[in-house]
Chain A
C-alpha cells in the first residue's frame, strides 16, 4: 500500500482544521475587540458568549447557524436587511471577517438564561401556533420550517428556541409592516396573518423553550 496519498490527505486535513481554528480565533478576536474603526466589538451588544444582554433588544447568536449569520451580514451590507446599527458595521466588515465572526458565534456555547416568563395562556397559544398552526388563518406550524422544537433548519433557517421574545416579536412586526424584506418570501405573508397577540404568543413560547430547568424552577 502506498502511503504517499494518505499522508498528503492527512496533511491537507490537518491544514484545513488548523485553518478553521485560525478562523475561530479571528472571529473571537473581532467579537471581543472589533476590527478597525468602524467595526466595534460585537460583544458590546451580543456578549462574548453570544447570549446578548437578555433584554431582547439584541438577539442571541450563540449556536446560531453560521451560514445564516453570514447571510445576515451580506443582507445588512447590501441594505436588503435594514438596520441603522448593523448596516454600517456589516459594510465595514470584510466577507472573510464576517464568516469568521459567524463561525465563532455558531460555536459559542453561552447558556440559556431564564427570563421573565409570559403567562401560561399566552405561551399555550404560542405553542399551538409553533407546533400545529392555525387552520382559520391558513398558517402552517412554525416548526415545519424552523425545526422540531424550533431548533432551526440549518443552514438556511435560524433556530427560534431560546431566542429572546422581544427580538422575535419585533422581527415579525417588521416583516408585517414591510420594513424587513430579506429572507424567505413567505415570512412577510405569514407575519401578515399574525395578530399582535399571536406574535407575542409565539415569541413567548420560543423564548422559554431551552431555559435551564434549575433557572426555570426559580
Chain B
C-alpha cells in the first residue's frame, strides 16, 4: 500500500528542461513544488568532469546518459500489421535520464520553427490549394501562432545565452543572419561561434550557388554570459564532446547550468531523484487529478497528492504517462479517432559527404555540437513546392559535432565495410571530409502512432510504450530533393567525391538519426484531434499539463529544443497568469 505524503501544490513528473523551468518559476511564486526525477542527481562538478566525461565508448556507444532500457524499454514496429519488439539498446534515438534529462546530452542547436509551421494546414492550403497535401498526412494547425510564441522563444534563448546572428529583427532583414526566419524582437544574447574551417568551406560553396549561409544557432557559448537568472556560462572550447555527453566547461546550456541552481536554492522547491512515477492519479470523476503515485529508489511506493500535475518527462514518456494514467482517449490508427498517441513524428535526416584531397585539412574534432554554418533556403516552406510533389524541407548544414574516433569514419562509396581496405580508407579520409547534414521535417501520418504494448512490461509491471513508425512517402521525396541540393553544394565546395545518402524507407530503429521524437500528446484547438489545448493543458483533466515536444502536431525542419523552451514559457505564462487565478479549463471544450 502506498504511503500517502503531505500534499503539495505542484508536482512535475520529470526534472529535465521543461520540469526545471516550470518547477523553478512556480516555486518562485510561493507554491510548494516537488520535482520527481526517476534518474540520479548529477551536476557539472563533479559528475561531468574530464577526462572521464570524454569516454566515447561509455557515453556515445553505450549511451550512459539515457533511459535504462533494462528497466524500461520501448517496443518498435514499422506498421500496425507487425508485432513490435522491445528495443534493448538505444540506437535510433536516445531518451534522456537523470537530472536535466536529454538537455544534458544535447548538441545545443537552438532553432525557432517557422511562422508557417504553427498554422501549417491553413498556410499550405492557402498557398497551394486544397488537395496539395498527401491525404495520409494528418497535419493540422497548432492552435498557437509564432507571434504569440516569440517572446517565449526570446526568453528561452536569453536563458540559454544562445550564440547566433539574427536574420530578421522586427521585420527588418539583417545581413549575415537567416533571412528566412520569423521576426525576432532582438539580437541573439551572444555573438555567433567562430566559424570552423568546414563551415567556411560550406559558406563559400553555398554562396557561389546563390544560397544564404549563416552561423548555426548554438547554445554552446561563443563568449562568457550571465543569464537573467544570474547564472553564468563560460566560453565553449570546441572540445567536440556535446552530443551524447555532458559539458564539463559550463559552456553548454542545460538545466544544471541555466536554471536548476536557482530552483534548488528556493526552500519551496524540493527535488526528489530516483523516483519513478507510475501514474497520475484521478479522482472518481476521472476529470481531476489528485496527484501522482511513485516508487522511490528503495522500492517504496508513495502517493504524492498535488493540486497541479505537470507531465514534464521526455516526449515519448509524456505520452506513456497519459496512457498508463488513462488520461485522454487513446488514438486508434484504424479509425483515426482518439487523441493520445496521435501524430507521432520524428525527423527526416540525410547526409552528403564531401571528400577532399589530402591537402584540405578539416580537423573535424575542433567543434562543438552546434558550431558550423547553415542554409535555410530549402527548409520548411521557404521555397516554392509547386510541382515538387511533397511538402516540408530541410536545412542543410556543415555542423560536424566533433569527429570522435570510434564513431566518425567517413569513407567514400565502394569502400569495403570492414578489413584492411576499410581501415586504409578511414585513415585516408578522416581528416579530409566534410559531412553535410540535411535536417528534414517529419510529417505525421495516420498509421504512425504511440500506444501501450500489449505484451511487454517494465520493471514496475507497467506496459511499455509501443512506437509504430515509418517514413511517409512525402518525406522520402523531400529527402531526395534536398539531399540533391546538398550534393550540389558539396560539389561547389570543391569536393573530389560527393556522396549523397537520401533517407529511404523503411525506417530502421537501429540506425541513429536524432533524438527528436515528437507528438503523441499534441496541442490544438479541437479536442477531437488534440490531447492538450493551446496552453498544453489536458482537455480531459484540466489540472494536468503535458509539456514538451509531445505537443508538436508535426515536426518541422529544425531541432526541436528551442520550440520546447518556447512552449514551456508559453504554458508557464498561462499557468501563472490565468490558471492559478481561476483553476479550471483555460479553453472550453
Q: Hey, which chain A residues are within 8 Å of B49, CB to CB?
A: 131-133, 140-141, 143-144
Which B-chain residue is minimally distant from A157 (CB atoms)? B237
Residues on A with beta carbons closer than 8 Å to the beta carbon of B43: 135
8 A Cβ contacts from B39-55 to A:
43-46, 49-51
Question: Which B residues lie within 8 Å of A135 (CB)?
Answer: 43-46
Q: Which of A138, A143, A145, A188 has the most CB of B within 10 A?
A: A138
Q: Is A132 within 8 A of B45, CB to CB?
A: yes
Query: Chain B residues near A145 (CB, 8 Å)?
Result: 237, 249
A186 pairs with B46, CB closer than 8 A: no
In the assembled complex, which residues on chain B have CB atoms less than 8 Å from the CB atom of A148? 50-51
Q: Is the CB of A141 within 8 A of B50?
A: yes
Q: Are A138 and B231 in contact (CB under 8 A)?
A: yes
A140 and B46 form a contact (CB under 8 A): no
Picked from A133, A185, A190, the residue with its CB within 8 Å of the CB of B223 is A185
B235 within 8 A of A: yes
In chain A, residues 35-61, which have Cβ atoms closer than 8 Å to a Cβ of chain B?
A: none
B50 contacts A133, CB within 8 Å?
no
**Residue in A141, A143, A185 whose CB lies within 8 Å of B45:** A141
Q: How far is the CA of A25 from the CA of B52 in the complex (A)?
A: 41
Return the contact of B234 from the options A131, A132, A140, A141 (Cβ within 8 A). A140
A184 CB–B CB distance under 8 Å: yes
| Inter-chain contact B234/A133, CB cutoff 8 Å | no
A145–B238 Cα gap in the complex (Å)?
A: 11
Task: Please measure, in the bound complex, the distance between the C-alpha atom of A190 and the C-alpha atom of B250, giving whole angstroms.
Answer: 11
Residues in A with CB closer than 8 Å to B44 are: 133, 135, 138, 140
Interface string of A140-152 (1 = CB under 8 A from B): 1101110010000
A132-B49, A135-B46, A185-B224 are known contacts. Are A141 and B248 too (CB-CB below 8 A)? yes
Q: Which residues of A81-135 are within 8 A (CB) of B?
A: 131-135
The contact of A144 among B46, B224, B249, by CB within 8 Å, is B249
B50 adjacent to A186 (CB under 8 Å):
no
Q: A184 CA to B354 CA in the complex, in Å?
A: 32
Q: Are B249 and A140 in contact (CB under 8 A)?
A: yes
The CA-CA distance from A20 to B126 in the complex, in Å, is 70
Q: Which of A132, A134, A185 contacts B235 (CB 8 A)?
A: A185
Q: Report the count of interface residues on B (CB-CB < 8 A).
A: 19
A22 in contact (CB, < 8 A):
no
Once the chains are docked, how many angstroms separate the CA of A143 from the CA of B50? 7
Question: Is B232 in contact with chain A by the CB < 8 A criterion?
Answer: yes
Contact, CB under 8 Å: B248 / A140: yes
Cross-chain contact A140 with B45 (CB below 8 angstroms): yes
Q: Is the CB–CB distance between A140 and B224 below 8 Å?
A: no
Please name all residues of chain A whose beta carbon is closer than 8 Å to the beta carbon of B50 when the two chains form the complex. 141, 143-144, 148
A60 CA to B395 CA, complexed, in Å: 50
Contact B250 A138 (CB under 8 A): yes
Of A133, A139, A184, the most chain B CB neighbours within 10 A belong to A133
Nearest residue in B to A153 (C-beta to C-beta)?
A: B237
A189, B248: Cβ atoms under 8 Å? no
Give Cα A139 to B44, complex, Å. Answer: 9
Please give the distance in Å from A131's CB to the nearest CB on chain B. Answer: 7
Query: Which residues of B lie under 8 Å from residue A141 when comparing CB positions?
Result: 45, 49-50, 248
Query: How many chain-A residues does the 8 Å CB contact rule pick out?
Result: 19
A140 → B minimal CB distance (Å)? 5
In the complex, what distance in Å separates the CA atom of A189 from the CA atom of B161?
16
Q: Is the CB of B45 within 8 A of A134?
A: yes
A189 in complex: contacting residue of B224, B237, B257, CB < 8 Å: B224
Given the complex, which residues of A lie within 8 Å of B248, measured CB to CB? 133, 140-141, 144
Residues of chain B in range 179-233 having any CB-CB distance to chain A below 8 Å: 223-224, 231-232
Return chain A residues, CB-CB under 8 Å to B46: 132-133, 135
Cβ contacts under 8 Å, B51 to chain A: 143, 148
Q: In the complex, what distance in Å separates the CA atom of A189 from the CA atom of B223? A: 10
Complex CA gap A144/B141 in Å reads 46
Taking CB atoms and an 8 Å cut-off, the chain A residues in 180-218 that contact chain B are 184-186, 188-190
The smallest beta-carbon distance between A139 and chain B, in angstroms, is 7
Q: Closest A residue to B226 by CB, please name it.
A: A189
Assembly CA distance A133 to B44 (angstroms): 9
A189 x B232 contact (CB < 8 A): yes
In the complex, which residues of chain A have a beta carbon less than 8 angstroms from the beta carbon of B237?
144-145, 184, 186
- Residues of chain B contacted by A185 (CB below 8 angstroms): 223-224, 235
For residue B203, give the distance in angstroms from its CB to the closest CB of chain A.
23
Determine the chain A residues whose CB is within 8 A of the CB of B224 once the complex forms. Answer: 185-186, 188-189
C-alpha gap A189/B49 in the complex (Å): 18
Q: Considering the chains assembled together, what is the distance between the CA atoms of A57 and B346 in angstroms?
A: 60
Q: Which residue of B lies closest to A190 (CB)?
A: B234
| Chain B stretch 225-259: residues in CB contact (< 8 A) with chain A | 231-232, 234-235, 237, 239, 248-250, 257
Complex-state Cα separation, A58 to B183, whole angstroms? 54
Complex CA–CA separation, A135 to B257 (angstroms):
10
Closest CB-CB distance, A104 to chain B, in whole Å?
27
Complex Cα–Cα for A141 and B51 (A): 10
Distance (whole angstroms) from the CB of A48 to the closest CB of chain B: 34
Bound-state CA distance A51–B98 (Å) is 48
C-alpha gap A172/B43 in the complex (Å): 26
A134-B45 Cα distance, complex, nearest whole Å: 6
| Chain B, Cβ-Cβ closest to A137 | B45
Q: In the complex, what residues of B have CB within 8 A of residue A189's CB?
A: 224, 232, 234-235
Q: List 5 additional contacts besides A138-B231, A185-B224; criterion CB under 8 Å.
A: A144-B50, A144-B237, A145-B237, A148-B50, A189-B224
List 23 contacting pairs A-B, 8 Å CB cutoff, sorted by A. Answer: A132-B45, A132-B49, A133-B44, A133-B248, A135-B43, A135-B45, A138-B44, A138-B231, A138-B257, A140-B44, A140-B234, A143-B49, A144-B50, A145-B237, A148-B50, A184-B237, A185-B224, A186-B235, A186-B249, A188-B224, A189-B224, A189-B232, A190-B234
- In the complex, the 4 A-B pairs of residues with the closest C-beta atoms, listed nearest first: A135-B45, A133-B45, A189-B224, A186-B235
